[in-house]
Structure 1
Amino acid sequence: MGCTAEGLATALRAAAGVVAEHRAELIELDRAIGDADHGENLHRGFTAILAALDAGTPATPGAVAKLAATTLISKVGGAAGPLYGTAFLRAATKIGDAGELDVPLLVEALKAALEGVQARGKAVEGDATMVDALLPAVAAAEAAADGGADPAAVLTAAADAADKGAESTVDLVARKGRASYLGERAVGHLDPGARSTALLLRAFAEAAR
């Protein structure tokens, strides 16, 4: 059984709740190594996604993902809007007109999201960015899918890997974004983008259950 448009809308609503809950945490993480706007920007973006969904849920999962993408790109400043917007847009393109998001398509959508983030942000593993959470998440999702997992289990595996990947940024010297200006002084700080990536994947996993 896969995820319908309504299911993806429910997952986005759950993600909006998690972003609201962790808004202050993300602001403080960004204050330490950035410009303290990550939590507020994401909160603004997902609040706008809620409003768009309240106006009517699109008919297909791909259309729901595209709605999220265009909303984030148009409403969110800083790096979060373009990066997350691109992630959702690439995922939407991969999903296409499918009426349901099954496991193979879910994994392909996650891979497309990662590719979009890397194309937009030019970050690789070890740069202390959201890629350090998203890359292992996609690998874990692929492994879970190969093992016959259902969508909820695939997303849970992704979320678990993203948590560990985000934690790994504490020990890294940032090579992208504002944190890169700090050099060695950025070591010891959790990357806010990696943290928000892990939070969103966890919200999606919980919603899928």
Structure 2
Amino acid sequence: MNSVTMEDVELAVRAMIDVALENEAYFSDLDGVVGDADFGVSLATGFREIDAKWDTLDRTSIGHFFLAISQIITGKVGGCSGPIWGTAFMRAGIVARDKSELSADDIGQIFERAIDGIKARGGAEEGDKTLLDALCPMSRAFEAEKNGEPLPAVVAAAEQAVEDTRNLEARRGRQSFTGERSIGTLDPGCVAVATMTKRIAETAKQSA
């Protein structure tokens, strides 16, 4: 794959903002099936703040950009989502450090470090019906295709994860309180990750 520039990163984050705001009600409806119905609102609140501060975000490097986003999400997103999503961006920022471009190996490390950080922060593992059940197969798909065009494989892995998690019982997060009632439902975090990933891929294709 080609190196990822600051412009590419900005386009990806803008795609995430658009998805979070456009799907605020939908993500909350998904969460309301067995959760407290605030996931979409919480996520949109954080990404709306990123949008509001867009022009003032630190762009001295990709790492600083990610860390600025991490601080906003951690401070503005409530519930379990703030620490989890904030940790993912923080770990990405640490990998990116002072870099103005990211290689395929850098992206692979971002996946790995973000996943490790989320596991440590939330105590979840793959199979617990959380966004890790999307991120882990996405990471494996990226590694398998990183020397070519990995985005289609990553998108496919994310979309498959949405259905693969449907019949899991939630063991972490608000949904875990409902026990077996969570079986047969979609995980809002997985759906959000898959929807954002698909939008990022579409945006990248349009800008190529």
Bin the TM-score by the shorter chain: over 0.9
Q: Provide the rounded CA distance (Å) in 2 between the counterparts of 1:170 and 1:56.
A: 37
Deviation at 1:55, TM superposition (A): 2.3
Q: Give the match's secondary structure for 2:19.
A: helix
CA deviations on 1:122-160 (whole Å, 9 max, x unpaired) are: 111211111111110100011111xx22xxx32332222
Partner of 1:154: 150
Answer whether contact 1:3 1:61 (CA < 8 A) is retained.
Answer: no
Partner of 2:52: 51
Letter in structure 2 aligned against 1:157:
A
Gaps of 5+ in 2: none
Partner of 1:176: 172
Gaps of 5+ in 1: none
Deviation at 1:99, TM superposition (A): 1.4
Q: Provide the rounded CA distance (Å) in 1 between the counterparts of 2:167 and 2:23.
A: 22
Q: Provide the rounded CA distance (Å) in 1 between the counterparts of 2:196 and 2:117.
A: 17
TM, length-normalised to structure 2 = 0.92
Partner of 2:142: 141
Letter in structure 2 aligned against 1:20:
L
Partner of 1:63: 64
Q: Provide the rounded CA distance (Å) in 2 between the counterparts of 1:200 and 1:66.
A: 19
Answer whether contact 1:14 1:203 (CA < 8 A) is retained.
Answer: yes
Partner of 1:36: 37
Q: Provide the rounded CA distance (Å) in 2 between the counterparts of 1:80 and 1:73.
A: 8
Segment drifting more, 19-28 vs 135-144: 19-28
Deviation at 1:57, TM superposition (A): 5.2
CA deviations on 1:94-142 (whole Å, 9 max, x unpaired) are: 1111110121111111211111111111111211111111110100011
Q: Provide the rounded CA distance (Å) in 2 between the counterparts of 1:112 and 1:154.
A: 19
Number of corresponding residues: 204
Task: Map 1:1-209 onto structure 2 (within 5 A).
Answer: 1-56=2-57, 58-145=59-146, 148-149=147-148, 153-209=149-205
Letter in structure 2 aligned against 1:50:
D
Q: Provide the rounded CA distance (Å) in 2 between the counterparts of 1:115 and 1:154.
A: 21
Q: Percent identity?
A: 38
Answer whether contact 2:58 2:68 (CA < 8 A) is retained.
Answer: no
Answer whether contact 1:9 1:53 (CA < 8 A) is retained.
Answer: no
Deviation at 1:200, TM superposition (A): 2.2
Letter in structure 1 aligned against 2:194:
A
Change in Cα spacing, 1:45 to 1:156, as seen in structure 2 (3 Å) is farther
TM, length-normalised to structure 1 = 0.92
Q: Provide the rounded CA distance (Å) in 2 between the counterparts of 1:41 and 1:165.
A: 22
Please report the RMSD computed on the Cα atoms of aligned residues, expressed in angstroms: 1.4
Q: Provide the rounded CA distance (Å) in 2 between the counterparts of 1:65 and 1:103.
A: 17
Answer whether contact 1:74 1:81 (CA < 8 A) is retained.
Answer: yes
Letter in structure 2 aligned against 1:103:
A
Answer whether contact 1:57 1:64 (CA < 8 A) is retained.
Answer: yes
Answer whether contact 2:57 2:68 (CA < 8 A) is retained.
Answer: no
